[in-house]
Structure 1
């Protein structure tokens, strides 16, 4: 399987964090694990036998939105495939698609309910390569942004970026003070726009930073990862890690 992480074009970088592409030309079964990362997204897949989300056993439409992934999941594909995922900064679902983000936590939203999607799917399927498919989806998102930008909460976008920059270790009350917001106002608006509390988003960012270090062996021992990422001690780190992966760090590292 080939995996690409593509930096979004500046025209969409305000609301798209990353574009992931998964491709396989072999007629084999592929299982792709996903863990909490704080970012909802849009997924398009081109497969011969469909794509299933486990542990839910759910066959997915060719294009769909997904909300916050909190519990670990896997994507299962039988045969050759192309998957394109646009990861969103988590402040756009309500504004762009008029859905309550909390309603699709650990869930999905079928974009086929939108009339413009039929034409989009035809255009994506007829696109010659992945770059063209990305360009087609990008044009759709730019259109949404131009129509809905006044509905976006840019203060919450700033809070999201601050949490990311500080790798989830900054106290939320400190961010509220810097943004000139009352802590309860920030928490209410953050939950409304993202579907999860600000503290939970920070914990997910903190977890993801440690997960990357653990899987790339950037930081040596678990103790070094623990203290580099602001966990109070090793048991705290193990508890958070297991909550998001279902495994201890040691067990995960041996997979």
Structure 2
């Protein structure tokens, strides 16, 4: 299993957090289970080799898209594949969809929509270019050119809510919501309504998801910290709140996840 990320160009850094690649070059005969978790950001995803089956309840499953957009999510989803695969992703700030495609993040919340449905003919052409690219550096060049062309034509040049969302992410979800509303010179009701349009969630739920993502990013099974230490370091009031949010957003107890043996964590721990 191989995972790596690539930084965007300076022109795109305000909208794109990174590009990423996940590949499995050999198949052992045992299906690989991949688990997506709650995330406050948006992803453009291209399966250039292999297509996953999404595992639903009651032992049902459906074929996932070959390329599409995954919106801000407060839930986890499970996928399976029994062959080699390669995935190329674009990790976007949630407000990027509004600024680049005039699609509010709220319209994509907890949704996974195939590329053609959401971007039409343009999405189909983009998918074909990404799928036919000889390597991931070429894929980065293709998607960068596409996004920069959208960036040059965007109508929204300065959006205060975008900076507010970036601040919450920069501070790992520790920003005070009331202070953010005051700084925006909006009433709390106006602030919450505008924030939800650009982030997909209320400010409170968004900060909870960002704190959860901080725990995923900063700690691994190699850390000697206790769950209480991790909870405190990530801004949780206590361990019980940390465990509650972690189970809600990942489906795992944090003790199981950080052991490195939980389902869907192989790409993280290798």
Q: Output the TM-score relative to the length of structure 2.
A: 0.85
Where in structure 1 are there 5+ consecutive unaligned residues?
A: none
5 Å matches for 1:64-143? 64-113=68-117, 114-143=120-149
Alpha-carbon distance in 2 for matches of 1:153, 1:216 = 41
- Give per-residue Cα distances to partners, 1:190-223, cap 9 Å, x unaligned: 1012211111111111111123344254461112
- SS of the aligned residue for 1:83 comes to strand
Instruction: Choose which of 39, 42, 51 in structure 2 pairs with 1:40.
Output: 42
Tell whether the 8 Å contact from 1:169 to 1:230 is kept in structure 2 after alignment: yes
Alpha-carbon distance in 2 for matches of 1:209, 1:46 = 29
Give the alignment's Cα RMSD to 1 decimal: 2.1
Tell whether the 8 Å contact from 2:115 to 2:127 is kept in structure 1 after alignment: no
- Give per-residue Cα distances to partners, 1:115-147, cap 9 Å, x unaligned: 123332332233221110121112111122222
Partner of 1:17: 17
Partner of 2:193: 188
Instruction: Choose which of 232, 237, 248 in structure 1 pairs with 2:253.
Output: 248
Alpha-carbon distance in 1 for matches of 2:257, 2:128 = 40
Alpha-carbon distance in 2 for matches of 1:236, 1:153 = 36
Tell whether the 8 Å contact from 2:247 to 2:253 is kept in structure 1 after alignment: yes
Alpha-carbon distance in 2 for matches of 1:169, 1:217 = 25
Tell whether the 8 Å contact from 1:51 to 1:59 is kept in structure 2 after alignment: yes
Compared with structure 1, are the counterparts of its residues 152 and 76 closer, same or farther at alpha carbon in structure 2 (3 Å cutoff)?
A: farther
- SS of the aligned residue for 1:151 comes to coil
Partner of 1:2: 2
Alpha-carbon distance in 2 for matches of 1:213, 1:85 = 21
1:55 paired with 2:92, answer: no
Moved more, 53-62 or 172-181: 53-62
Tell whether the 8 Å contact from 1:30 to 1:77 is kept in structure 2 after alignment: yes
Deviation at 1:230, TM superposition (A): 1.7
Which protein, 1 or 2, shows the higher relative CO under an 8 Å CA cutoff with sep ≥ 6?
2
Compared with structure 1, are the counterparts of its residues 181 and 115 closer, same or farther at alpha carbon in structure 2 (3 Å cutoff)?
A: same
Where in structure 2 are there 5+ consecutive unaligned residues?
A: 262-270
Alpha-carbon distance in 2 for matches of 1:43, 1:233 = 35
- Give per-residue Cα distances to partners, 1:227-252, cap 9 Å, x unaligned: 22221111111111111122322233
